[in-house]
């Protein structure tokens, strides 16, 4: 299974052996490492990337969903080349930031906006703002949801099976005192939320409105609406972490479901791959931010290149029409996998939303992390390595999802499905499915 990968990626192995001596595991993010060694890429264009061995891949990972516009989108590249001559960072406020704030206000139905650089910063500040506004301490997060790598929310992100629904700190170096005010609920389980808010004085609930750290698990609509009713009754805020969902549907998950959370966070896709994030929400909540009030800052927040990139991305590239075209390709890919499951009599289910999707080697779609953690992942890894060795990056890992960019084509989808069909036959044969 790994032999083809090793033959094709000798230069990646060489780089890894050198890099791992001066960089832990040879990478700049833990999520880029996988056994036996990570893949090192050299460039990307359109729907494709090339590694240091010269291998070409059709990329469906798209930088973990950050590149809904595709690699090196020509519209963005042209404008950024021109903007580089005006400076990369100015120190004081960049004039065009107001223009971007108005675009986000209109598109995502928010009242006020603040900018940071990363999704981690945005979710970190959002819970600070929620606590400042409510004057309460407790934060509820859902098991299996990921909100960046800051200490307070790095809890029960991917616990082991025997640790499910126990408070499980997801990293060394985080004292329990830091997470004692972080409470854990189960996704799509209204009773687990109701029980906590009745017992605890909760400042806010933060969630991925579409869970995208365990494949792709959509919420029951009644579950979402129930949480909004509880918020009104018990006086806590609702934070939608739309770092992933914000660029996969025109107005994000909040627009898709017709809901207005108190705060939303955005990042990744809204700036076409440049570092920019957003904390936005209702005016009365956002007004707690300011000098001598609630802290928020960052030298690189709303830097000119990122602001320009976001304006171009949101107004010229991730338009309603282009997202709809990507959605149609996503539907084609999802249907192809479902057809394979039916034709091959294979235990495989498909979940899609917007421009993303995921497969589970399971008879039924999981509804929460507990069910997700019980799925046998061995078939997925065989599928992944064979896809990679045949020039397709299907996604980053079994708990991720694919993303269709505005630069993917029907031919890309057909090639993906052609290769996947043959590989799924091998998966079924090895694991004796059904």
Q: What is the largest CA-CA distance in the chain?
A: 65
Verify whether residue 268 is a known catalytic residue.
yes
Residue of 51, 241, 347, 412 marked catalytic = 241
Q: How many CB atoms lie within 10 A of CB 88?
A: 11
Q: For residue 277, what are its two tokens?
A: 């994030």
Q: In Å, what is the CA distance from 23 to each residue of 38, 43, 174, 303? A: 13, 21, 22, 28
Angle, helix 410-431 to helix 320-343, in steps of 10 degrees:
30
Mean pLDDT for back-to-back runs of 10 residues, the chain (434 residues)? 90 97 96 94 98 98 97 96 92 96 98 97 98 98 96 90 76 93 97 97 98 97 97 98 97 97 96 97 98 95 96 98 98 98 96 98 96 94 96 95 98 98 94 61
Q: What is the DSSP string of 207-259?
A: E-SSB-SSS-BPPPHHHHHHHHHHHHHHT-EEEEE-TTGGGTSTTHHHHHHT-
Best CA proximity match to 333, nearest among 408, 224, 270, 423: 408
Strand order from edge to edge, sheet including 202-207: 112-116, 277-281, 263-266, 237-241, 202-207, 138-142, 182-185
Alpha carbon distance 431, 382 (integer Å): 10
* Catalytic-residue membership of 425: no
Residue 301 has φ and ψ, to the nearest 5°, of: -60, 130
Domain boundary assignment for the chain: 3-68+319-431, 74-317
C-beta of residue 391 within 8 angstroms of C-beta of residue 5: no
pLDDT on residue 434: 46
CB 55 within 8 A of CB 9: yes
Span 27-84, pLDDT tens digits: 999 999 999 999 999 999 999 999 999 999 999 999 999 999 999 999 999 999 999 9
Backbone torsions φ then ψ of 46, nearest 5 degrees: 65, -120
3-state secondary structure of 71: strand
pLDDT tens, position by position, 287-338 = 999 999 999 999 999 999 999 999 999 999 999 999 999 999 999 999 999 9
Structural tokens at position 303: 């830097």
* pTM (2 d.p.): 0.96
Identify the active-site residue in 268, 367, 382, 428.
Answer: 268
> In the CATH hierarchy, which fold is given to the domain comprising 74-317?
3.40.640
Please give the Cα distance from 125 to 301 (Å, whole number).
13
Q: Which of 16, 133, 146, 250 is catalytic?
A: 146
Helix (H, G, I), strand (E, B) or coil at 419: helix
Both tokens of 127, joined, read 């819970």
User: Using an 8 Å Cβ cutoff, are 405 and 62 in contact?
Assistant: yes
Fold topology of 3-68+319-431: 3.90.1150
Decide if 3-68+319-431 and 74-317 have a common fold. no
- Which pair of tokens denotes residue 117? 């650089």
- Bridge partners, residue 265, by sequence: 241, 279
Is 137 in the active site?
no
- In the prediction, which pLDDT does 162 show? 63
User: How is residue 45 annotated by DSSP?
Assistant: E
């Amino acid at each position: 299974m790994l032999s083809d990968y090793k033959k094709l990626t000798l230069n990646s192995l060489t780089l890894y052996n050198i890099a791992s001596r001066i960089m832990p595991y040879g990478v700049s993010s833990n999520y880029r490492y996988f056994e036996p060694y990570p893949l090192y890429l050299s460039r990307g264009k359109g729907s494709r990337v090339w590694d240091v061995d010269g291998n070409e891949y059709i990329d469906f990972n798209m930088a973990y969903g950050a590149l809904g516009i595709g690699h090196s989108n020509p519209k963005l590249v042209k404008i950024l080349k021109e903007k580089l001559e005006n400076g990369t960072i100015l120190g004081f406020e960049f004039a065009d930031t107001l223009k971007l704030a108005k675009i986000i206000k209109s598109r995502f139905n928010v009242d006020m906006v603040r900018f940071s650089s990363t999704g981690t910063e945005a979710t970190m500040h959002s819970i600070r703002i929620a606590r400042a506004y409510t004057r309460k301490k407790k934060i509820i997060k859902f098991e299996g949801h990921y909100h960046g790598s800051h200490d307070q929310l790095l809890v029960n992100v991917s616990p082991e099976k025997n640790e499910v629904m126990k408070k499980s700190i997801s990293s060394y170096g985080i004292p329990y005192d830091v997470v004692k005010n972080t409470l854990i609920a189960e996704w799509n389980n209204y009773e687990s939320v109701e029980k906590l808010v009745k017992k605890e004085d909760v400042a806010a609930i933060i969630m991925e409105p579409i869970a995208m750290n365990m494949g792709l698990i959509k919420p029951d609509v009644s579950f979402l609406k129930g949480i909004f009713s509880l918020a009104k009754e018990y006086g806590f805020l609702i934070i939608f972490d739309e770092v992933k969902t914000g660029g996969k549907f025109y107005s994000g998950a909040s627009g898709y479901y017709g809901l207005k959370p108190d705060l939303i966070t955005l990042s990744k896709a809204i700036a076409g791959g440049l570092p920019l994030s957003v904390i936005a929400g209702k005016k009365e909540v956002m007004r707690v931010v300011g000098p001598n009030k609630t802290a928020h800052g960052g030298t690189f927040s709303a830097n000119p290149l990122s602001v320009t990139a976001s304006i171009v991305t949101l107004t010229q590239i991730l338009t309603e029409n282009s997202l709809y075209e990507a959605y149609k390709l996503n539907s084609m890919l999802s249907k192809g996998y479902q057809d394979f499951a039916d034709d091959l009599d294979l235990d495989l289910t498909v979940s899609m939303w917007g421009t993303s999707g995921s497969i589970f080697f399971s008879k039924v779609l999981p509804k929460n992390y507990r069910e997700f953690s019980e799925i046998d992942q061995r078939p997925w890894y065989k599928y992944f390595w064979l896809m990679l060795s045949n020039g397709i990056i299907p996604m980053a890992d079994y708990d991720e999802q694919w993303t269709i960019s505005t630069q993917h084509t029907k031919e890309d989808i057909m090639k993906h499905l052609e290769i996947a069909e043959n590989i799924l036959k091998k998966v079924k044969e090895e694991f004796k499915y059904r």
